[in-house]
Amino acid sequence: MTDPANDVADNLAEIKTRIDRAAAEAGRPAGAARLIAVSKVQPVEKLEAALAAGHRLFGENRVQEAKAKFPAARERYPDIELHLIGPLQTNKVKEAVALFDVIQTLDRPKLAAALAEEGRKRGRLPRLFVEVNVGDEPQKAGIAPADLPAFLAECRDMHGLTIDGLMCIPPADQDPAPHFALLRDLAEQHGLTEVSMGMSGDYEQAVRTGATFVRVGTAIFGERIKPAAHG
């Protein structure tokens, strides 16, 4: 018989070992890449299992879902660090700024302006990463690599935003290696320290290429149950 709580704890331990091994293979120090446990659409017992195992770094891709789960969890575990890894609509900026420690999906000028305005009102903002559309896919969110220098300048000069890193989701049907290398090189060129890339199937490769955050869901928690409905 398998206990889902043990499974989550075992998976977390195994993946952290693999991350540190991949970092070592690339001559990077242990702890150079941190594991974001992507808890979206997972039952609350699995989130609880990860918390009980001592894990504190989580990613969610919807503001409403995160709002339903994390304020309660934070009352018991104030050291939770929560990253937004899904698209952010401007009408959710206020809630997102209140809830998340890091917003990884800054991907357009209008959102930069809305974040800056909310930051002025509150006197603080989460850390911000820009999402890069590394595969130049027409349907996908993110700033095209060619447009990144101008967008970063706009964030900084027009809006006074500090950008700490870059995030990407490479094309699903391609070898992620060149996309990971591109994101790392872009971060380096712009003096950005954080690089968020790699998911369940390719996080070790992302770590070897320079990821400082990997975002892993199913390899920790198992297959996601389908959300019942939007809302």
Ligand X SMILES: *Cc1c(COP(=O)(O)O)cnc(C)c1O
215 binds ligand X (CB under 6 A): yes
Place of tokens 């996309």: 179
Region near ligand X per CB under 6 A, out of 25-33, 46-54, 157-165, 214-222: 214-222
85 binds ligand X (CB under 6 A): yes
State the minimum distance, in angstroms, from the CB of residue 220 to ligand X. 8
- Exactly one of 42, 61, 133, 212 binds ligand X (CB under 6 A); which one? 61
83 binds ligand X (CB under 6 A): no
* CA distance linking residue 127 with residue 96, whole number of Å: 12
Please say whether the beta carbons of 220 and 12 come within 8 A.
yes
Closer of 89 and 189 to ligand X (Cβ): 89
148 binds ligand X (CB under 6 A): no
Closer of 37 and 152 to ligand X (Cβ): 37
DSSP H/E element including 195? strand 194-196
212 binds ligand X (CB under 6 A): no
- Exactly one of 9, 88, 166, 169 binds ligand X (CB under 6 A); which one? 169
Region near ligand X per CB under 6 A, out of 11-19, 49-57, 153-161, 213-221: 213-221
* CA distance linking residue 123 with residue 31, whole number of Å: 31
Place of tokens 């609880």: 48
Cβ-closest residue to ligand X? 217
- Exactly one of 9, 11, 40, 187 binds ligand X (CB under 6 A); which one? 40
* CA distance linking residue 105 with residue 88, whole number of Å: 7
Cβ within 8 Å of residue 165, ≥6 positions away: 104, 127, 129, 130, 187, 192, 193, 194, 195, 196, 212, 213
- Among positive and negative, which fits the CA dihedral 38, 40, 46, 48? positive
39 binds ligand X (CB under 6 A): no
Question: Directed axis angle between helix 44-52 and helix 4-25, to 10°?
Answer: 60
State the minimum distance, in angstroms, from the CB of residue 157 to ligand X. 28
**Contacting residues toward ligand X, per CB under 6 A:** 38, 40, 61, 85-86, 169, 199-200, 215-219
